[in-house]
């Protein structure tokens, strides 16, 4: 049981790295980026193809970060003309981008599911809490915790972060202060996308890389965002850790309901607290 | 004409032919039956076959193996079934019945084929039952393993050269009950139709042999990427062994995580053969070593027909055949045998002729025969081993002939 809790943290931190960008972009600019899962899958493929050595693993991380940066800027530019249009138009645009990206990934990497090897030294298992546990997942917990702290400090304690939070709260007011909120949006979009592709590389040794994985992780990220609340780093972190625990401990405790525990929790949160655990406003507007 | 047996000479001739062949896999092209072989003689007509296998989606690699198996048989037999020149219409089955059923509809209604061959997806195969009955066309299923396709509720128009989900599982159930694992096997398979069929038929054979089930889990199908919660449950159950059914990406993750979480050393992993078949095995890597599965084929089988088959296949396509290649190779093989006696090309005549072909004695999988429109065939216990750097499913034991259970 304890090992399930530990594993819940590994999955939770991975989900946090994936979901925080989605949450900030959605909360700030009302852009629902359905291409977020495709960014993750792109990173996962890079990890699967290049991984296996430390050089390959770090190279994949670097390439994924560059790719994420480019993808984020591109997506930000593409959604800009739709700024005053409805959520549906933006969702349709990013859905189209997601479909095209998924197809390009299939053309590049093929239809077959690939597995990604963890870097040497981390591809084994160690005994933790009396159970055998993959070493690599311990690294994910460490990296996730460090990234969560870093993102939290930047958003909560710096001037840039204050700008981001202010834009989430009231972007019209921020623009009256002479700040171009398109730049803020572009920057957040870029950082969020980098985190998504990096999460893909980091998640590769756990999830592998296969067609369809983009949709699976996108849904997980959306669940995290809805549970945690929009535009909140703390919400994304708590949401991700809660989902991580539900997905592991919940399945151990309620094996017959393995298919339902995740969305059962989602439904519960939507009924009790529709704005999410840390959200300040309702999702539906 | 008699059915030409697969001889080594024929296959050697193929070596040269195959090297110059364009690979006719992608796109829904109409493929002629290869070179016209003068040896066939005696006029005869044309038989039009709709080859409906996946060319896109998650099963695309299975579809490619199947297309190759089909083409290899035709190339080594002059592109003819007896007196008939074979004309193949290849159409993409896709992933689901939403694409598969229209594809079958297309070849029957638009291309007006005489026989349909292929189908990976069981739901697609079940979905075209009425269509076949109405148009009285024969379907030879070359993968889909659903029990309901053949057996009691079957239509006379659906025949199968592959396997049934339960057949593969039942062989393992009997084997484990007999070999010291009677006190506790944990069952795990995804929560969908094929997973349930595998588990139920394993359970029936295993408990009939005196085995007791230690526990059971059904991970959500297609969305489970982390099996840790289920692996913890297996460890806590005190099981002596695990029996599982996974395929594709799930087979890769499950086998790898089973090793990563340390279960492989203490609780041996057994499964239906698709766990370690085809393109998933190299991806599983060292984690798959020692995993034991049952299936009706492995390219490691030691019989003359298989040796020749593997040799020709490898020469033509640069990789070893999979069970999917053999199943489709055998579809051509049995159609050829049936056409030796069939009076016409409609479904009823062909079904009657297929019922009379008796033992198929030149199949790479070993001799088999139709029993209720699906093969009664030998099941092999296979173990993943490292053969000079390549992972293979080595034969451990021949478990003898097995029919569709029930």
Q: Taking a C-beta distance cutoff of 8 angstroms, is the pair B378, B366 a contact? A: yes
What DSSP element (H or E) covers B72?
helix B60-76
Q: What angle do CA B391, B393, B399 make, to 5 degrees?
A: 165
Binding-face residues of A in 179-218 toward B, CB within 8 A: 206-208, 210-213, 216
Q: A120 at the B interface (CB within 8 A)?
A: no
Q: A258 at the B interface (CB within 8 A)?
A: yes
Q: What angle do CA B135, B136, B139 make, to 5 degrees?
A: 105
Beta-carbon contacts of A203 under 8 Å, excluding residues fewer than 6 positions away, are A14, A18, A40, A43, A44, A217
Residue A91 is predicted with a pLDDT of: 85
Averaged pLDDT, A89-118:
90
Residue A281 is predicted with a pLDDT of: 55
Q: How far is CA B380 from CA A51, A149, A191, B66, B371, in A?
A: 35, 54, 53, 21, 19
Calpha distance B14→B312 (Å, rounded): 7
Q: Provide the residue ranges of all domains of chain A, joining segments of one domain with +.
A: 2-272
- pLDDT class of A233 with cuts at 50, 70, 90: confident
Output the DSSP codes for A214-282.
HHHHHHHHHHHHHHH-TT-HHHHHHHHHHHHHHHHHHHHH-GGGTTTHHHHHHHHHHHH-TT-SS-SS-
Q: How far is A175 from chain B (nearest CA, A)?
A: 42
Closest residue of chain A to B191, computed from CA coordinates: A259
Mind listing the pLDDT tens digit for each residue in B74-101? 999 999 998 899 999 999 999 899 999 9
B53, B195, B226: best mutation site toward chain A, by most A Cβ within 10 Å?
Answer: B226
Instruction: Check CB contact under 8 Å for A210 and B217.
Output: no
Mind listing the pLDDT tens digit for each residue in B152-208? 767 899 999 999 999 999 999 999 999 878 789 999 999 888 999 999 999 999 999
Domains of chain B with CATH codes: 8-163+302-372 (3.40.50.2300), 166-295+380-402 (3.40.50.2300)
* B292-295/B183-188 β-pairing: unpaired
**pLDDT tens track, chain B, 406 positions:** 444 444 555 544 544 444 444 433 334 444 444 433 343 344 578 999 999 999 988 788 899 999 999 999 999 999 999 889 999 999 999 989 999 999 999 999 999 999 999 999 999 999 999 999 999 999 999 999 998 888 776 789 999 999 999 999 999 999 999 987 878 999 999 988 899 999 999 999 999 999 999 999 999 888 888 899 999 999 989 999 999 999 888 999 999 999 999 999 899 999 999 999 988 899 999 999 999 999 999 999 999 999 999 999 999 999 999 999 999 999 999 999 999 988 889 999 999 999 999 999 999 999 999 998 999 999 999 999 999 989 999 999 999 999 988 7
Calpha distance B254→B256 (Å, rounded): 6
Q: Which of B281, B284, B245, B287 shows the shortest CA–CA distance to B264?
A: B287
Q: A131 at the B interface (CB within 8 A)?
A: yes
Q: Which of B223, B229, B260 sits opposite A251 (nearest CB)?
A: B229
Instruction: Check CB contact under 8 Å for B229 and A4.
Output: yes
Residue A47 is predicted with a pLDDT of: 94
Q: Taking a C-beta distance cutoff of 8 angstroms, is the pair A191, A185 a contact? A: no
Calpha distance B159→B268 (Å, rounded): 36
Mind listing the pLDDT tens digit for each residue in A275-285? 888 876 544 43
What DSSP element (H or E) covers A75?
helix A54-79
Calpha distance B333→B330 (Å, rounded): 5
Q: Which fold has domain A2-272?
A: ABC transporter involved in vitamin B12 uptake, BtuC (1.10.3470)
Q: Which of B218, B233, B261 sits opposite A134 (nearest CB)?
A: B261
Which residue has tokens 């996730």?
A: A144
- pLDDT class of A143 with cuts at 50, 70, 90: very high
Instruction: Check CB contact under 8 Å for B56 and A111.
Output: yes
Residue A10 is predicted with a pLDDT of: 93
Q: Taking a C-beta distance cutoff of 8 angstroms, is the pair B393, B298 a contact? A: yes
Residues of chain A with Cβ-Cβ distance to B254 below 8 Å are none
Q: Which of B165, B130, B126 shows the shortest CA–CA distance to B406?
A: B165
Q: Which of B386, B141, B399 shows the shortest CA–CA distance to B276?
A: B386
Which has the higher per-residue pLDDT, A256 or A221? A221
Q: pTM score > 0.90 for this model? A: no
Residues of chain B with Cβ-Cβ distance to A223 below 8 Å are none
């Amino acid at each position: 049981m304890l090992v399930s809790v530990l594993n819940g943290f590994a999955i939770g931190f991975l989900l946090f790295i994936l979901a925080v960008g989605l949450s900030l972009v959605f909360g700030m600019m009302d852009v629902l980026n359905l291409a977020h899962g495709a960014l993750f899958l792109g990173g996962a493929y890079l990890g699967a193809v290049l991984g296996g050595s430390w050089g390959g693993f770090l190279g994949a991380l670097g390439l994924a970060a560059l790719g994420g940066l480019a993808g984020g800027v591109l997506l930000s530019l593409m959604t800009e003309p739709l700024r005053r249009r409805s959520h549906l138009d933006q969702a349709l645009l990013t859905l189209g981008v997601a479909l095209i990206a998924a197809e390009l990934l299939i053309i590049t990497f093929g239809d077959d599911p690939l597995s990604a090897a963890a870097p040497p030294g981390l591809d084994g298992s160690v005994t933790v809490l009396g159970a055998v546990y993959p070493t690599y997942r311990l690294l994910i917990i460490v990296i996730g915790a460090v990234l969560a702290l870093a993102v939290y400090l930047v958003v909560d304690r710096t001037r840039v972060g204050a700008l981001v939070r202010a834009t989430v709260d009231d972007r019209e007011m921020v623009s009256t202060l002479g700040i171009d909120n398109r730049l803020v949006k572009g920057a957040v979009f870029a950082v969020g996308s980098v985190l998504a592709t990096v999460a893909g590389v980091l998640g590769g040794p756990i999830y592998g890389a296969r067609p369809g994985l983009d949709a699976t992780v996108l849904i997980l990220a959306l669940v995290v965002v809805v549970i945690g609340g929009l535009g909140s780093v703390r919400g994304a972190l708590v949401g991700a850790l809660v989902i991580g625990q539900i997905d592991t401990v919940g399945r151990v405790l309620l094996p017959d309901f393995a298919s339902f525990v995740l969305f059962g929790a989602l439904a519960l949160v939507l009924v009790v607290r529709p704005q999410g655990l840390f959200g300040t406003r309702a999702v539906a507007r | 004409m008699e059915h030409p047996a697969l001889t080594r000479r024929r296959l050697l001739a193929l070596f040269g032919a195959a090297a110059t062949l364009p690979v006719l896999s992608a796109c829904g092209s109409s493929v002629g039956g290869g070179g016209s072989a003068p040896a066939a003689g005696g006029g005869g007509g044309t038989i039009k076959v709709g080859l409906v296998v996946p060319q896109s989606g998650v099963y695309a690699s299975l579809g490619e193996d199947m297309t190759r198996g089909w083409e290899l048989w035709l190339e080594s037999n002059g592109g003819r079934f007896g007196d008939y020149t074979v004309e193949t219409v290849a159409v993409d089955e896709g992933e689901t019945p939403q694409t598969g059923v229209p594809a079958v509809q297309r070849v029957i209604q638009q291309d007006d084929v005489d026989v349909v061959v292929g189908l990976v997806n069981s739901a697609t195969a079940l979905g075209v039952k009425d269509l076949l009955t109405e148009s009285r066309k024969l379907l030879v299923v070359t993968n889909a393993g659903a029990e309901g396709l053949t057996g009691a509720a079957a239509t006379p128009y659906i025949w199968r050269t592959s396997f049934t989900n339960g057949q593969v599982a039942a062989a393992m159930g009997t084997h484990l009950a007999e070999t010291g694992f009677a006190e506790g096997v944990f069952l795990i398979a995804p929560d969908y139709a094929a997973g349930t069929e595998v588990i139920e038929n394993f359970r029936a054979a295993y408990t009939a042999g005196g085995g007791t089930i230690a526990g059971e889990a059904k991970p959500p199908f297609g969305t489970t990427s982390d099996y840790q919660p289920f692996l913890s449950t297996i460890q806590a159950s005190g099981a002596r062994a695990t029996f599982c059914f996974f395929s594709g990406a799930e087979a890769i993750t499950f086998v790898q995580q089973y090793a990563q979480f340390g279960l492989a050393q203490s609780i041996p992993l057994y499964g239906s053969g698709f766990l370690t078949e085809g393109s998933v095995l190299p991806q599983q890597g060292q984690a798959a070593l020692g995993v034991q599965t049952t299936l009706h084929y492995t390219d490691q089988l030691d019989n003359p027909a298989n040796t020749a088959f593997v040799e020709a296949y490898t020469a033509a396509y640069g990789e070893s055949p999979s069970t999917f290649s053999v199943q489709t190779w055998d579809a051509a093989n049995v159609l050829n045998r049936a056409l030796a006696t069939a009076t016409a090309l409609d479904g009823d005549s062909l079904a009657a002729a297929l019922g009379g072909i008796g033992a198929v004695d030149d199949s790479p999988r070993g001799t088999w025969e139709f029993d209720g429109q699906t093969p009664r065939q030998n099941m092999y216990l296979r173990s993943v081993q490292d053969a000079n750097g390549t992972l293979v499913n080595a034969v451990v034991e021949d478990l003898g002939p097995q029919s569709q259970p029930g």
